[in-house]
Amino acid sequence: MRVVLRQLLMLVASVAAWAAAAMAQAAPALLTVGPGWAWVRESFPPSGEKALTRLVWTNPPAQCDLDTLQVWNVRRPWPMQDWHWLGEEPAAPAPDDPIRWQPPHRTPPPPSRPHVEIRLAEPMSDLLGHSLTYRLPGFNWQAFYRVIVRGIGPESIESVQVDLEAFLHIQNNTAATFPDARVAIVGPDESLLPATKPFGLLALDYDNPLTDLWRNPPAPGPLVPAAYPLDVTASIPAHGRAEVRFARITRKPAQITHVCHSSVIHAPTPQGGRPLQRVLQIPNTPAMGLGYALPPGRADLFLGAARGTPFQSGRARHTPFPGTLELDLGTVETVRAMRQMGVEEPLPEGAKQVDYTITLTNGLTSPIRVQVIEQPLTPAQWNLVRSSVPCTISSRELTFNLTLPPHSARTITYRLRLSARPQS
């Protein structure tokens, strides 16, 4: 009786497992959208067969690249023997049928190929289902940011708060439809490409080899694409566009920084100085409601509320995690800087020294944060001798971070030692 009862229980368990597998629904498609293409992983419900050797794909996209087709079980890709279309082949005309002439400009309709038959090299268990991965051209994506900044007045900067919404537009130019697809994106940041040289009238000496720098400029290197596993859900229609929101921030604190960069504020600066650039910095952290890499895209900034036209439109660059999303708020006339460079003085050991002076002025009624970035414009090797303000030193630049009280001025002085670079 125990043996019979054990066999009965095993039979019931197998029937229940088969029924559950038959009633299981396929997981939504996974799309990794890149510039001009999408890598699709399409899942199918289990059939309950333990040794599957043949698959029939009943609804393949017409534009899919079947050379990239792979069959996956739960854990790994499964080896395929071959695949071919199962379609209606045009019937050959009988010898007695009259010959029908068609104008040459009319192309015959493409043959109907609704199914793809895939033969597997080894039997595969389909108790838990399977999936197909393939490359599908005709896709593209764009990211958009809408940022509302509160707390910035004409005379002061109060406690700054931001609202941020980030949207993803996915363009599908194929006849395939993907309802409730999980989407990730891949792509480079095109804003990192070097700016093109402006048009102008140049008097070039064609016998000078330096002219080749203008006539035949070197091609920029390829951009390294970044992956953004946003894990958002979108219903992508055929020959259409889907919009999905992948980030949202409401009433979160942000930082305002005024940047004084030596490539913008040149020395010597005219009397009165130049206005500094105001930058909005949003930490890319889970506490801010983010915590993942943010793709590059257009950014529209509003002051106070999202009404009317944007205060400023720019572009947000690729923001890694952890990192800081930085958005340009334009120049501020009441926060200015002056840079002065002294004369290079020779030293007894053969090197030289030069002094730099930076004067910062805050005309607002609130304290501000200023970041000074100095990139010494010299072909010689330089070393910092002394500085009136602590700074961070790297191989290419010096960075000063300080806070200016309301209606105040601050002067930064530092000295560099210049020496010849070692010959390699």
Mean pLDDT over 282-296 rounds to 93
Q: Return phi, psi of residue 254, to 5°.
A: -135, 170
326: burial class by Cβ within 10 Å (0-12, 13-18, 19+)? middle
Residue with the larger pLDDT of the pair 1 and 66: 66
The pLDDT value given to residue 59: 84
State the average pLDDT over residues 291-301: 93
Amino acid found at 385: V
For range 281-306, the mean pLDDT:
91
Tell whether the model's pLDDT for residue 194 goes beyond 80: no
Distance CA 290, CA 292 (A): 6
Is the pLDDT at 388 greater than 80, yes or no? Answer: yes
Q: Which residues face 328 on adjacent strands? A: 279
> What does the pLDDT read at residue 102?
66
pLDDT at 307: 79
Confidence of residue 107 (pLDDT cuts 50, 70, 90): low
Write down the residue that tokens 């006849």 correspond to: 175
Q: Is residue 15 pLDDT above 50, yes or no?
A: no
- Judged against a pLDDT cut of 70, whether residue 95 lies above it is answered with no
Query: For residue 12, what pLDDT is reported?
Result: 44
Name the residue ranges covered by the structural domains of the chain: 2-88+111-137, 143-189+204-419
- pLDDT over 50 at 135, yes or no: yes
Cα separation of 188 and 111, whole Å? 38
Query: Phi-psi bin for 3: left (phi > 0), alpha (psi -120 to 50), beta?
Result: alpha
For the segment 245-269, the average pLDDT, to the nearest whole number, is 93
Q: Which amino acid is at 174?
A: T
Closest CA to 43 of 128, 116, 135, 136: 128
Q: Name the nearest CA neighbour of 250 among 165, 329, 167, 166.
A: 165
Q: Which two tokens stand for residue 132?
A: 């197909």
Distance between CA atoms of residues 410 and 403, nearest Å: 9
Residue 170 clears pLDDT 60, i.e. is over it:
yes
State yes or no: pLDDT of 20 exceeds 80.
no
In order of 71, 84, 128, 321, the CA distances from 120 in angstroms are 9, 12, 17, 42
For residues 129 and 74, give the distance between their C-alpha atoms in angstroms, rounded to a whole number: 7
Q: Phi and psi at residue 19, in whole multiples of 5°? A: -65, -40
The percent of residues above 70 in pLDDT, for the chain, comes to 82
What backbone torsions phi and psi does residue 127 show, to the nearest 5 degrees?
-70, -25
Phi, psi values for residue 101, rounded to 5°: -95, 140
Strand-pair category, 368-374 with 255-261: parallel
Distance, in Å, from the CA atom of 341 to the CA atom of 415, rounded to the nearest integer, reads: 10
Q: What is the mean pLDDT of residues 1-28?
A: 52
Is pLDDT above 50 for 275?
A: yes
Contacts for 126 with CB less than 8 Å, ≥ 6 apart:
46, 47, 48, 49, 50, 52, 73
Maximum alpha-carbon separation in the chain: 108
Q: How many CB atoms lie within 10 A of CB 402?
A: 15
Tokens, residue 135: 């490359």
HSE (CB half, 13 Å, CA atoms) of 127?
8
Residue in 405, 423, 322 with CA at minimum distance from that of residue 365? 405
Question: Which of the given ranges, 16-25, 42-51, 77-86, 241-250, has the highest pLDDT on average?
Answer: 241-250
pLDDT at 366: 93
Cis peptide before 95 (omega within 30 of 0): no
Angle at 259 between CA 302 and CA 142, to 5 degrees: 45
Per-residue pLDDT tens digits for 212-245: 666 666 676 777 889 999 889 999 999 999 999 9
